[in-house]
Amino acid sequence: MSNQPGIFSSAVNLDLGGASQPAPGDAPAGAAGDDAVHDVVIVGSGPAGYTAAIYTARANLNPVLLAGSVTAGGELMNTTEVENYPGFIDGIMGPDLMNNMQQQAERFGADIRYEDVVSVALEGEVKTVTIEDGTVLKARAVIISTGSEYRKLGLEDEERLSGHGVSWCATCDGFFFKGQNIAVIGGGDSAIEEATFLTKFADKVTLIVRRDEFRASEIMRQRALDDPKIEIRWNSRVTGINGENKVESLDLVDTVTGEPSQLAVTGLFVAIGSDPRVGLVKDQLELTAENTIAVDGRTSTTSLPGVFAAGDVVDPTYRQAITAAASGCVAAVDVEHYLAALDS
């Protein structure tokens, strides 16, 4: 899947703060070494992190964004066509959208590093962020935009057969299932998107839904019902994954009658939602009942001064690319106001 070049060719000022924008190519702060105290370090990318980087870079805050070594771009890197992001009449591939955002952030001077964060220390006026090679970055403000991660079934053989028929990413692995019968678990938009995409390769896709109806939007429901290559197993739950070296079949149980059955498939794609990535901060920041980072109202302000959060890691409800991007904007503006207050 090829990435498109950046689409933002004109320097139109879309922010509300009226901040002057650095010239493209200006060296980011901290280039002389990591002993510097950065204005802001952003942990995590995706729509929230990249948007926060765009806004803070244009506010001359010289952000450092730690995108992760393999998770850069977040969940949208694993999606196919994004049809509901404003401004793209014919839709845009998820990876292309993330590539555009990344290039736009870099255009304004954001320092994007493909490093994994192993720990953070968020109390005090200067926060520290430690990456995997032991480098410690110091910052006056930190934005947490770590997103969410795929939810697993918790079955005994799920991990053992991961990469041997069990997958959480249709765009990554669908090609390997040409001409096969496979299954997708889930009843939401993501599950139907995965199932629809997989019909390009598989002979048959069985969509396994726990209830007698979808949770998906109406347009996605109809898409699944109209696709001749998708068969739906309502009121069904997977209780086992069978196969010695690769997936051979699934054990199912009817959620209404309790009757067991078996489904012969060679692939299983799990699309049952995701959980917020709060492992780095769960012992330092206040969390909500939904295990997201708690923020104050519509702001990005967390329980610690100088620490802000954005994207799916704060959002248990909407979890859309557009709301994540908006959340990243909020975090950037909050950081700008916070630092201005410190300096006044």
pLDDT band at 27 (very low <50, low <70, confident <90, very high): very low
* Residues forming the active site: 169, 172-173
| Domains identified in the chain, total number | 2
Are 157 and 145 within one domain? no
The conformation of residue 292, written as its DSSP 8-state character, comes to S
- Residue 69: what pLDDT? 86
Q: What pLDDT digit, counting tens, does each position of 182-234 carry?
A: 999 999 998 999 999 999 999 999 999 999 999 999 999 999 999 999 999 99
CA–CA distance, 304 with 285 (Å, rounded to integer): 7
Start-to-end C-alpha separation, the chain: 48
pLDDT band at 173 (very low <50, low <70, confident <90, very high): confident
Residue 7 lies in a domain: no
pLDDT band at 26 (very low <50, low <70, confident <90, very high): very low
Q: What percent of the chain has pLDDT over 90?
A: 76
Are 197 and 297 within one domain? no
- CA proximity to 201, closest of 174, 229, 238: 174
Are 265 and 315 within one domain? no
Are 145 and 156 within one domain? no
Residue 181 lies in a domain: yes
Are 158 and 252 within one domain? yes
Q: What percent of the chain has pLDDT over 70?
A: 89
Are 112 and 250 within one domain? no
Mean pLDDT of 39-43: 98
- Residue 21: what pLDDT? 40
Q: What pLDDT digit, counting tens, does each position of 133-148 carry?
A: 999 999 999 999 999 8
Residue 261: give the domain boundaries. 152-270
Residue 90 lies in a domain: yes
Residue 27 lies in a domain: no
Residue 319 lies in a domain: yes
- Residue 141: what pLDDT? 98
pLDDT band at 76 (very low <50, low <70, confident <90, very high): confident
**Can you give 206-271 as a three-state secondary structure string?**
EEECCCCCCCCCHHHHHHHHHCCCEEEECCEEEEEEECCCCCCEEEEEECCCCCEEEEECCEEEEC
pLDDT band at 149 (very low <50, low <70, confident <90, very high): confident
Residue 14 lies in a domain: no
Are 256 and 282 within one domain? no
Residue 179 sits in a domain whose CATH number is 3.50.50.60
Last residue of a domain, one of 270, 302, 333: 270
- Residue 154: what pLDDT? 93
219: which 2 tokens? 């347009």
Q: Write down the mean pLDDT value for the chain.
A: 88
Are 144 and 284 within one domain? yes
Other Cβ atoms closer than 10 A to 78: 18
- Residue 150: what pLDDT? 84
pLDDT band at 336 (very low <50, low <70, confident <90, very high): very high
Are 255 and 164 within one domain? yes
Mean pLDDT of 94-109: 95
Last residue of a domain, one of 233, 248, 270: 270
- Residue 319: what pLDDT? 81
pLDDT band at 305 (very low <50, low <70, confident <90, very high): very high
Last residue of a domain, one of 242, 270, 298: 270
CA–CA distance, 109 with 185 (Å, rounded to integer): 42
Instruction: Kindly tell me if the per-residue pLDDT of 248 is higher than 60.
Output: yes
Mean pLDDT of 267-272: 94
Residue 23 lies in a domain: no
Are 43 and 110 within one domain? yes
Instruction: Kindly tell me if the per-residue pLDDT of 33 is higher than 90.
Output: no
Are 80 and 177 within one domain? no
The answer to whether 109 touches 24, Cβ cutoff 8 Å, is yes
Instruction: Kindly tell me if the per-residue pLDDT of 70 is higher than 50.
Output: yes
- Residue 4: what pLDDT? 31
CA–CA distance, 144 with 105 (Å, rounded to integer): 17
Are 115 and 211 within one domain? no
Instruction: Kindly tell me if the per-residue pLDDT of 311 is higher than 90.
Output: yes
Q: Which of 28-37, 60-69, 79-88 has the lowest mean pLDDT?
A: 28-37
Q: What pLDDT digit, counting tens, does each position of 282-304 carry?
A: 999 999 999 999 999 999 999 99
The H-assigned helical ranges of the chain are 46-58, 94-107, 170-173, 189-198, 218-226, 321-343
pLDDT band at 239 (very low <50, low <70, confident <90, very high): very high
Instruction: Kindly tell me if the per-residue pLDDT of 30 is higher than 70.
Output: no
- Residue 77: what pLDDT? 81
Residue 30 lies in a domain: no
